[in-house]
Homo-oligomer: A and B are copies of this chain.
């Protein structure tokens, strides 16, 4: 595949909103979406009349089987006063709302619509951890989830294969976790807001206060190596290698590029779009990469006419620490087998040359699955517009950012590239 994809009409992001992510047992999908929608509307610099929105695309994965209500696009359309205009749900497991973005882009680029709202929502905390694990496994192939091979197991096996092939170790996974948690205190909307060091010190302080033995962790890695603090989930993955169960929503306002100036002087232009599909572990020729991500990246770079090194900042799908490492490779940010070194060298930190998951990533910001794809763009929106506050990256002439979203065990992957001109 080397056909260069193009859009007949450019599309830009002119507004973005995100609810707080977390566990909100007293809030439902409508509450969460409205919170994100209000912020998106108010983020449009020159204002937007909601009546001008032509269509809605909504990513959601689990509401039908977790909360026994399906057909959510028209329900959300109703709650934001959008009826009778069209509302379409897309589903690609954890990449559900990245698909909504793509369909919103196509709908505008086709010339049919001018202004489209795309978003995602998920409410997961009303179910037990066991139910969530079992439910999410419906997104893996019939050869994985149905035989008890839930997501931590699949990604644990992936990590084992990666370790065996490239010589990485658990300590390299910890580097990802520590990096993401270092960004966490800087994101007020995130689910977890403490660094690993803060968590460690807090636990030691608590033990001290209660008169118990104070664990003698000398640094974050000692903390993460202690099974009392960081129990095993699926070897080699431990608790802090895994993203949490979350509730949340996010949305974006997309418009035809030629109209963007009516809404803001600082739009994000969508310059690269890519999506791929993949098979389960049983059929993969290589366990240490995701073919769908590679296909998506190829498509998006081809459209944008840029190379991986041109992407200055990215949010990548860190459902597990090992996933972030492999995606760095699949997206071309480094060579295969070098992702763990890139993290170790600090290059993906907030002050690195290629900051990854400045939001805290799925690990800290949270992972309300249907909202994640759009929430990744929310972070890029903030960063490229220099609105990220204390977590603003110090890159000079920051212009190009990207988002990578993965669904299932790699069944659906997307890569989208944005430019602030």
Report A's interface with B, CB cutoff 8 A. 1, 5-9, 55-56, 61, 64-65, 68-71, 73-75, 77-78, 82-93, 99, 102-103, 105-107, 109-113, 138-142, 145-146, 273, 275-279, 283, 291-292, 294-296, 303, 407-408, 411-412
Contact = CB atoms under 8 A, between A and B. Distances in A.
A199 to B, nearest CB: 33
Which of A93, A277, A292, A408: most chain B CB closer than 10 A?
Answer: A277
A71 B278 contact: no
A71 B111 contact: no
A222 to B, nearest CB: 39
A407 B78 CA distance: 15
B275 A86 contact: yes
A110 B8 contact: yes
A78 B283 contact: yes
A11 to B, nearest CB: 9
A171 B316 CA distance: 61
A22 to B, nearest CB: 23
19 contacts: A6-B111, A7-B110, A7-B111, A8-B110, A64-B65, A69-B146, A70-B93, A70-B138, A71-B412, A73-B412, A74-B277, A78-B277, A83-B277, A85-B277, A86-B296, A88-B102, A106-B106, A110-B110, A112-B303
Copies of this chain, whole number: 2
A75 B8 CA distance: 30
B105 A103 contact: no
B103 A295 contact: no
Contact of A278 (B74, B303, B412): B74
B92 A277 contact: no
A9 B236 CA distance: 51
A90 B93 contact: no
By Cβ-Cβ distance, the 3 closest A-B pairs, closest first, are A74-B411, A109-B110, A8-B111
Nearest to A303: B112
A83 B278 contact: yes
B138 A64 contact: yes
Contacts of A93: 70-71
B106 A110 contact: yes
Most buried by B among A5, A106, A139: A106
Contact of A78 (B78, B82, B90, B279): B279
B90 A89 contact: yes
A110 B71 contact: no
